Structure 1
Amino acid sequence: MLLALVCTFIVLDYFQGPKLSSTQIDTSKVVAQTGQQLRLFADQNLATVAKSQVTVRPAAAFTVSTAGQSIAVQFTQRLNYATSYSVTVRGVTSAYQDQAQTFRYGFTTPHAELYYLDRADSASGAVKDDEIIRSSLRGTGRTVVYSAPHIQAFAAFPAVLAVVSLAGDGTSALTLASLDGGALERIVLPGPGTIQGLQASPAVGLLGFEFTSTGPASGRTYDSTLMTVDLGGAHTVQPVVGLDSKPLGVSDWLFLGGGENIVVQKFDQTVLLLDPSKPGSIT
């Protein structure tokens, strides 16, 4: 009798159509990086969901895909800070029968945060580290995210800070510091030298800077050479190459439009547009 009741409930539940069982989204990343996903998990394998079945409010650009018991809504642009979003998927059906259901989910993105460098007061005579501070734009809260002597520059990513500090011999060090105060990773540079012009493109996880080797100018391996580090990869420093396939020295540069394309100005005032992930893609 008990077995029969259990079987009856299973059958009834099956023919009611799929139900939303869980969701997954990183709200801290959707405001900082493109390509982030809201994943909706059902209790049954699903038929393919078309983009026309999905509504996002407030409006945001997205694509949709279906695999097994999950629907992935991928946001192609960064979402706004401090905003409540709702996602509705209509006409969700099982892969095996056509009883349609509607999935609804809402989430709120965090408020924007500000990072700034608070330098130690050398005039006080006290031994104190420089500090990188995180604060809300609402003016509430102040957290020391990272501290070290002689911090020269930093760039913020969704999960880490890239920090340039000065060693006692005048050379630069590059460190990745977790925003939760945990792990530290020292990035291996192409040799002793100095870093200038640190910039970041958090949306694609790319870090860039100019690197100059120590020693006389005539014998330097690198002289204001543009370097990049892919934080989504092996964290290896890679020189950007020019038309001659040699490391590219620059007088100025910047990431274009928050993506991975870079605009550089050479010492002869030539301006180039390039994609560091595709050597030779220079215009």
Structure 2
Amino acid sequence: MSTDGPDAGGSGEQPLTRAQLRALRAAETHDETEAALEAPPAPDAPPAPDAAPAPDAAPALDAAPRTPDPAAAPPRERRFTLTLLSVLGILTLVAGALAVVSLVQGPRLSQVQVDPAQAIEASGSRLILTANQSLDAVDAEQISVEPAVPFTVDASGRSIGIRFTVPLHDDTTYRVAVAGVTASGGGTEADLETSFRTPASSIMLLQRSADGADKIFLSDLSGEKAAPVFEHPRISDYRATSDVLVVAVEEEEGSHLLVMNRDGSDQRELPLPGEGYVSSVQVSDRAGLVGYSYSDRDLTETTGRASVLVTQALSGTDEPRIVQIDGKDANVAEWRFVPDSTSLLFIDFNGSLTVEDPTGDAGAQPMGTAASILGVNRGTYTALIERADGSFVVLDLTDGAEQPLPASDPDYGDAVGIEAFPGGTLRHVVQRDELGMPTGQAVVRVDDQGVASMIAEVSGEDSILQTCVSPSGQYAAVTIAPDLASNDYDDLLLPLPVTLHTSLIDLVGDRELPTLSGFDISWCRTAPLP
């Protein structure tokens, strides 16, 4: 009997094997799964009326969000989460360890700020110590400076500001220590220490020439590295600050006042009150001013201005200002800027001594009568004055109080000039015989206790023309005109001997310093008197 008839297959097709049936069912299952994934989600169907809620089920809106289980996350996300938690844990441990170390070690220095070059030029330079955390109150007794120098303290937050009230010595290592500082939140005490070294001094010196250009040289103290920074046929006067050089030169029509960098670059001219002549040039670092005595070129007994005192900004941003007393121009015989201030002190032709601050509103303040301004002290606002009766006094410029100038021991005689410096004075004295006749001259160093010692001396044939001292009182410069009787004078407005030598002297050590050709070293505040 045949098995291929209609009763066997129904349609004449071969029956499927078991393997084919299994493959067909697997394909149908795969198609249903893909359709379910691609189809949009069906709206939630309402529960059947007779459906009972699941035990302890809560409404969907009240369900709290679940914290992802790292173990249930994909492998990449799980690794990132574990790494982040590890880093946060390590940072927490490090922060805790640092806090413990800070409490155990106490504050430490994180930064030191100081300008050693500026510190040897002027008073008021600052050393700023910055700690790694805010500090408890710090006072001056906790601070020591070696070598010793006076200072003031201003501490706030993490910073301790130390202001040196006098200039510092050159080529010197200074050590500063602050003992027993604590953090503002308490903890272990610590000492903060630092040191810095000041640079070697550089000086300027003027050389006049009888048959060539006058020159201003920049040099070290040895004189071996001297180099000209400015030259002109007729240099009448100059002054130098830590930043600029101010030079007065003479032309046929009168003086010109030039300002430039210390190396002679970037020259610019300051306007004068008119066509005339300038002398007694001085500068004030603190006020940024230049001052000078000015006289008109066309001057008669009834017309023109003679020896009026003028001040103006070194920047050249303002016009010359003529100092006045009671609304009239002040004709001055002698004047000085007061160091470490913006004030100036002068004696007019009537002998009246006056102090004036051009930056204030008080105007000119009378200080009695005087024959000469011997010197002005740094940082104390006091002046050394020879009164009209010949007495020597220390004058307080704030209130006019005065006291006699202490005599020296031994007494070398009355001074004709005094240069004050931190720790004492240099006094230029004239030596005399039993009859009062001059026999020579000397420069005497007198300390604050009055102890005197001679540092320079010349015979009757030579003459001391100028005595100056470095800002800190470390060095002295004594300018000598040798053999004055045969030493020709130049022909400038204020003539000086052509041959001048300046001897450098170490006042605090035993360093041998040279004698240089020239005069008016940049330590000097005023020009030499002819």
TM-score, normalization: structure 2?
0.47
2:290 to 182, 207, 229: 207
The reply to whether residue 4 of structure 1 matches residue 97 of structure 2 is: no
What is the alpha-carbon distance in structure 2 between the residues aligned to residue 182 and residue 90 of structure 1? 46
User: Which protein has the bigger helix share?
Assistant: 2
Question: Given that residues 200 and 206 in structure 1 are in contact (C-alpha distance below 8 angstroms), is that contact kept between their aligned partners in structure 2?
Answer: yes
Gaps of 5+ in 2: 1-85, 368-530
The RMSD of aligned alpha carbons is 2.9
User: Given the alignment of the two structures, is residue 274 of structure 1 paired with residue 355 of structure 2, yes or no?
Assistant: yes
> Kindly tell me: are residues 110 and 273 of structure 1, through their superposed partners in 2, closer, same or farther at Cα, counting changes over 3 Å?
farther
**Aligned pair count?**
274
Structure 2: distance between partners of 1:267 and 1:83: 45
1:282 is paired with a residue whose SS is strand
How far apart are residue 180 of structure 1 and its match?
A: 4.6
- 2:183 is aligned to 94
Aligned to 1:145: 229
1:216 shift after superposition: 3.8
Q: Equivalent residue for 2:321? A: 238
Distance of 1:139 and 1:108 partners within structure 2? 22
Which residue does 2:309 correspond to in 1? 226
Higher-Rg member (1/2): 2
Shift of 1:66: 1.1
Q: Deviations over 1:167-199 (max 9, x none)?
A: 4x4222222222255443432322332211113
Structure 1 residue 262 displacement after superposition: 4.2
**Partner SS state of residue 203, structure 2:** strand
Letter in 2 for 1:252: E
Alpha-carbon separation, structure 2, partners of 1:112 and 1:253: 28
Question: 1:233 and 1:83 mapped to 2: Cα distance?
Answer: 36
Per-residue deviation, 1:87:
1.0
The secondary structure found in structure 2 opposite 1:219 is coil
**Map 1:1-283 → 2, pairs under 5 A:** 1=86, 2-15=90-103, 16-119=105-208, 122=211, 130-148=214-232, 150-167=234-251, 169-202=252-285, 206-217=289-300, 218-220=302-304, 222-229=305-312, 231=314, 237-242=320-325, 244-255=326-337, 262-268=344-350, 270-277=351-358, 278-283=362-367
Distance 2:266 2:96 in 1: 52
The CA distance in 2 between the partners of 1:91 and 1:103, in whole Å, is: 8
Please report how far the alpha carbon of residue 89 of structure 1 lies from its aligned counterpart in structure 2 after TM superposition. Answer: 0.7
Change (3 A) 1:271 1:31: farther
Counterpart contact for 1:261–1:273, Cα < 8 Å: no
What's the CA shift for 1:19?
Answer: 1.6
Shift of 1:104: 1.1
Higher relative contact order at CA 8 Å, sep ≥6: structure 1 or structure 2?
1
- For residue 271 of structure 2, what is the amino acid of its counterpart? V
Which position in structure 2 is the counterpart of 1:126?
none
Structure 1 runs of 4+ with >4 Å offset: 201-206, 230-236, 255-263
Q: What TM-score comes out, normalization by structure 1 length?
A: 0.82
Distance 2:219 2:232 in 1: 19
Contact 2:279 2:292 in 1 (8 A): yes
SS at match of 2:130: strand
Amino acid at match of 2:321: Q
Higher strand share: 1
- Could you tell me which runs of 5 or more consecutive residues in structure 1 were left unpaired when the two chains were aligned: 124-128
SS in 2 for 1:32: coil
Question: Which sits farther off after the overlay, 18-27 or 248-257?
Answer: 248-257
Contact 2:215 2:228 in 1 (8 A): yes
How far off is 1:72 after superposition?
0.7
